[in-house]
């Protein structure tokens, strides 16, 4: 029976080639636009560390003056001052904890006549790699003792290792950074969480390539490397010594493995702030302990434009579906006589309904195939955009499947009204009119 409907549908679609092409085209454009924007939205709002994100938390406190504080409304600061970050780290309340800031590292290649270049760098503490599951190609990270001892060592990314050492095992070799010689202890495999959650608010970009250089915080500071972003909350007598200045420039992450551990940590954090208030260092008691995804949501890491584009594409798809409903309906109303004949010859309403839904489904599938083509074109266009996430825009299998589901659902929804109109037509008047 289905084969017969299929044949009828194809014949009917062939009869009005221009109209069929219009329907398929409109649906395909709507689907193409929707899938393109959804792919980008999914890419940007994705989980950067799916296996670990639920255990990673971002503590926030507020060292600002009392002035302007509104109980329950004022959010704590995004960054942390050095003394507080170190106090939280040294309390060792989480499975892992690390403080970090972004900086620029001037790398001087060994080759003769080679020019120095700047690379994105992270100055952080020992737990960084274990906490964020950063995978090593060669070697490993450093220890807390290296942090305290300002050890002259560094971990580099695979792409920097490729550039400087042609991909060979460079552990133990020396690299010249900011006019200091540092020993390489580890080389990372390609590692670039999207979005780069740990760089939020530290003055870096959110998407794109990973960082190239990772070095111990104390070591970097001793080399006078400064953070990308510094926020000061009181008069600064000496900006050279950021460690003692009333300035925030570090992000702190903690790994907490159970609900109980999270609750404990929050209590600890509240207690820490109350203690600082008692000491007269702090005036505000607000704290926050968001998990990774919660932190990204609060930071509104997905650009507004991307969400607007997705909304716009849905509006566009809606217009295309309404358009298809109209055209399908017009088509089926013209075929009243044919329906009358089929009904008179014994076709049931259900059979007429099915026939028209099959026709709509075919339009949908054709729209889906063409829509996929448009989506690929759209993504190709996006890859040529200047945005930092541009190179990541690729259609994945999940989105591939989703395209067809959207196409089929859109066309079947569009088909319901015409199919219902067709099946409720009374056969006799149609036959008479013919």
CB-nearer residue toward another protein: 116 or 172? 116
* 150 lies in the site for another protein, by CB under 8 A: no
**What are the residues whose beta carbons fall under 8 Å from the beta carbon of 213, sequence distance 6 or more?**
105, 107, 119, 120, 121, 122, 154, 155, 156, 157, 160, 177
**Shortest distance, CB of residue 24 to another protein, whole angstroms?**
12
Q: Packing angle between helix 349-383 and helix 397-424, nearest 10 degrees?
A: 150
Indicate the residue among 318 and 373 with the shorter CB distance to another protein: 318
Q: Show the binding pattern over residues 50-89: x = contacts another protein (CB under 8 A), - = does not.
A: --------------xx-xx---------------------
Distances in Å between the alpha carbon of 342 and those of 132, 349, 362, 420?
66, 10, 21, 15
- Minimum distance, C-beta of residue 129 to another protein, in the bound complex (Å): 27
- Quick one: 337 or 365, whose CB is closer to another protein? 337
Helix 336-344 to helix 349-383 angle (10° resolution) is 140
Kindly state the helix (H) or strand (E) to which residue 403 belongs, with its residue range. Answer: helix 397-424
Q: Do residues 373 and 423 lie in contact, with contact meaning Cβ atoms separated by under 8 Å?
A: no
Find the shortest distance in angstroms from Cβ 308 to another protein.
Answer: 6
Q: Strand, coil or helix: what is 197?
A: helix
DSSP 36: H
Q: Which of residues 280-339 bind another protein (CB under 8 A)?
A: 303-305, 307-309, 312-313, 315-316, 318-320, 322-323, 325-327, 329-331, 333-334
Q: Which of residues 208-237 bind another protein (CB under 8 A)?
A: 232-237
Q: Which of 11, 173, 240, 394 touches another protein (CB under 8 A)?
A: 240
Q: Which is nearer to another protein, 27 or 187 (CB)?
A: 27
Cα→Cα distances 16→323, 334, 414, Å:
16, 11, 18
Question: Of these, 17, 72, 386, 397, which contacts another protein (CB under 8 A)?
Answer: 386
**Nearest 5 degrees, angle CA 362-CA 363-CA 369?**
90
Residues paired with residue 291 on neighbouring β-strands, in sequence order: 57
Binding to another protein by CB under 8 A, coded x per residue (else -) over 177-196, reads -xx-----------------
Nearer to another protein, 125 or 403 (CB): 403
42, 106, 349, 383: which one contacts another protein (CB under 8 A)? 106
Binding mask 7-36 for another protein (x = CB under 8 A): ------------x--x---x--xx--x---
Piece in contact with another protein (CB under 8 A), picked from 70-78, 146-154, 379-387, 399-407: 379-387
φ/ψ bin of 284: left (φ > 0), alpha (ψ from -120 to 50), beta (otherwise): beta
- Compute the chain's Rg from CA coordinates: 31
Decide whether 384 or 394 has the Cβ nearer to another protein.
Answer: 384
> Going along 27-166, which residue ranges are E strands?
56-60, 80-81, 96-108, 117-124, 136-139, 153-156
Q: Which lies closer to another protein via its Cβ, residue 30 or residue 216?
A: 30
Q: What are the structure tokens assigned to 266, written together?
A: 């929050």
Of 42-50, 353-361, 383-391, 423-431, the window that binds another protein (rule: CB under 8 A) is 383-391
> Whole-number minimum distance, CB 423 to another protein, in Å?
14
Q: Least distance (Å) from another protein to the CB of residue 18?
A: 9
Binding of another protein by 417 (CB under 8 A): yes
Strand positions, DSSP E, 5-95? 56-60, 80-81
Half-sphere exposure of 1 (CA within 13 A, CB side): 7
Q: What is the C-alpha separation between 108 and 123, in angstroms, rounded?
A: 18
**HSE, side-chain direction, 13 A CA sphere, residue 267:** 6
Distance CA 317, CA 297 (A): 27
Q: Does 4 bind another protein (CB under 8 A)?
A: no
Instruction: Give me the residues that bind another protein (CB under 8 A), please.
Output: 19, 22, 26, 29-30, 33, 64-65, 67-68, 104, 106, 108, 115-118, 178-179, 232-240, 303-305, 307-309, 312-313, 315-316, 318-320, 322-323, 325-327, 329-331, 333-334, 385-387, 417, 421, 433
């Amino acid at each position: 029976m289905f084969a017969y409907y299929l044949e009828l549908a194809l014949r009917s679609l062939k009869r009005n080639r221009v109209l069929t092409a219009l329907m398929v085209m409109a649906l395909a454009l709507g689907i193409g636009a929707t899938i393109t924007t959804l792919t980008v939205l999914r890419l940007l709002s994705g989980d950067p560390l799916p296996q670990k994100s639920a255990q990673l938390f971002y503590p926030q406190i507020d060292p600002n003056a009392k002035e302007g504080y509104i109980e329950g409304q004022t959010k704590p600061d995004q960054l942390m001052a050095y003394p507080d970050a170190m106090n939280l780290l040294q309390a060792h309340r989480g499975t892992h904890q690390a403080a970090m800031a972004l900086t620029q590292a001037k790398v001087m290649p060994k080759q003769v006549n080679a020019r120095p270049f700047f690379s994105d760098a992270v100055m952080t503490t020992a737990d960084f790699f274990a906490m964020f599951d950063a995978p090593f190609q060669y070697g490993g990270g450093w220890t807390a003792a290296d942090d305290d001892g300002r050890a002259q060592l560094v971990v580099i990314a695979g792409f920097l290792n490729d550039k400087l050492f042609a991909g060979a095992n460079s552990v133990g070799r020396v690299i010249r950074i900011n006019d200091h010689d540092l020993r390489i202890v580890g080389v990372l495999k390609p590692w670039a969480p999207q979005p780069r959650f740990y760089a939020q608010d530290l003055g870096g970009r959110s998407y794109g390539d990973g960082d190239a250089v990772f070095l111990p915080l104390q070591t970097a500071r001793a080399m006078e490397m400064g953070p990308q972003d510094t926020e000061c909350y009181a008069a600064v007598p000496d900006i050279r010594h950021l460690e003692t200045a009333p300035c925030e420039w570090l992000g702190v992450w903690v790994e907490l493995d159970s609900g109980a551990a999270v609750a404990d940590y929050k209590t600890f954090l509240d207690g820490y702030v109350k203690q600082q208030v008692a000491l007269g260092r702090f005036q505000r008691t607000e704290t926050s302990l968001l998990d990774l995804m919660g932190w990204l949501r609060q930071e509104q890491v997905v650009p507004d434009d991307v969400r607007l584009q997705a909304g716009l594409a849905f509006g566009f798809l809606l217009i295309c579906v309404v358009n298809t409903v109209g055209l399908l309906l017009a088509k089926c109303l013209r075929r009243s006589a044919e329906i009358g004949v089929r009904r008179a010859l014994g076709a049931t309403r259900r059979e007429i309904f099915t026939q028209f839904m099959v026709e709509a489904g075919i339009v949908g599938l054709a729209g889906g195939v063409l829509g996929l083509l448009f989506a690929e074109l759209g993504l190709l266009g996006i890859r040529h955009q200047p945005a930092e996430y541009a190179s990541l825009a690729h259609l994945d299998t999940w989105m591939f499947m989703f395209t067809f589901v959207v196409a089929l659902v859109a066309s079947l929804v569009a088909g319901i009204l015409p199919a219902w109109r067709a099946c409720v037509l009374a056969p006799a008047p149609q036959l008479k009119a013919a």
